[in-house]
Amino acid sequence: MKRLRALVFVAFALPVFAADPLPSWNDGAAKRSVVDFLAKVTKAGSPLFVPSAERIAVFDNDGTLWAEQPFYFQLAFALDRVRALAPEHPEWKDKEPFASLLKGDVKAALAGGEPAIFQVVMATHSGMTTDEFEQIVKEWIATARHPKFKRRFTELVYQPMFELLAYLRANSFKTFIVSGGGIEFMRAFAEKVYGIPPEQVIGSSGKHKFELRDGKPVLVKLAEIDFIDDKEGKPVAINKFIGRRPILAFGNSDGDLQMLQWTAAGKGARFMGLVHHTDTEREWAYDRKSSVGRLDKALDEATLRGWTVVSMKNDWRRIFPFDNQR
């Protein structure tokens, strides 16, 4: 009886996260900075306590929650769509960047830089209704495979960031994605993959037209940019969609710098983090000179201001859910 009582006591004395809430993080400064921040803002009576309603956390997606090499996954989607739509577009055979793409020469197709990418994205992300687009993305994401890992793209998510999202939500945080990626592309899988509902996914967007088709209302995706959610666009989008300043922000590139600055400039306790891609073996290593996810100015500012820089190689025991723990 005494033993039973002792057991009951132990059970109730355990905090909410009795086990390590971040098992895929190595013990070290990065992990400690996260745990310390959470403890400070959630402890009732602490001078840095933050009420639940104001516990807003924002995360970039590409390179922060899932991988982004050898190119952004949404571009892989667009390239697959060009191939799928080619029979309806005989004119693409003689028109760049489509002609090179259809010959299988992605490099030549993308040599046209941003205007070429813009053409590919617009040709594959407009002209259908929002419901149709959602269906197309869902089918693609369920079947398409990453060129190097030969796994579904949604398997290339970072296990340590998963754990961080869950840890934050268990502490009454609302977790948002604030990404340069397409808002409707991400929403098609973010709830299932990250547990982040569509209304907490913010991204770049095209314009839409409301129409009645045979009396039934539809929203048609137009071939016109509405908003680019990158760099200065990120704090603008945070203000527009969330309407209050996050207390935690995580990114991995210069595109996230302004979001981190905006988060840092609020009163009280703040957490700013960068994922630094330093693992050639399990993932990729790139920063100042990469064309995808360049991390240069933000790395300098993080060092200067003491933001948390997470080295994937040193700070993460496991990167992808399918990795063995080290």
* Residues of this chain that bind a second copy (CB under 8 A): 53, 56, 130, 174, 183-184, 187, 191, 197-201, 205, 208-210, 212, 216-217, 219, 226, 232, 235-236, 239-244, 258, 261-262, 265
CB under 8 Å to 224, separation ≥6 — which residues?
A: 126, 206, 207
Q: How far is the CB of 179 from a second copy (least distance, A)?
A: 14
Minimum gap (Å) between residue 233 Cβ and a second copy? 8
Q: Which is nearer to a second copy, 2 or 216 (CB)?
A: 216
- Residue 158 beta carbon to a second copy: minimum distance, rounded to whole angstroms: 23
Of 59 and 286, CB closest to a second copy:
59
> What phi and psi, each to the nearest 5 degrees, are found at residue 213?
-110, 115
Query: Shortest Cβ distance from residue 272 to a second copy (Å)?
Result: 12
SS3 24: coil
- The DSSP output letter for 202 is E
Closer to a second copy by CB, 229 or 287: give it: 229
Give me 34's structure tokens. Answer: 């996260």
- 56/274 with CB nearer a second copy: 56
Q: DSSP string spanning 126-156?
A: SSSBHHHHHHHHHHHHHH-B-TTT-SBGGG-
CB of 326 to a second copy, least distance (A): 36
Q: Which amino acid is at 237?
A: A
Compare residues 184 and 287 and give the one whose CB is closer to a second copy: 184
Asked if residues 271 and 245 have their Cβ atoms less than 8 Å apart, the reply is no
- State the greatest distance between any 2 C-alpha atoms of the chain, in Å, as a whole number: 84
Q: Would you tell me how many other CB atoms lie within 10 Å of the CB of residue 46?
A: 12
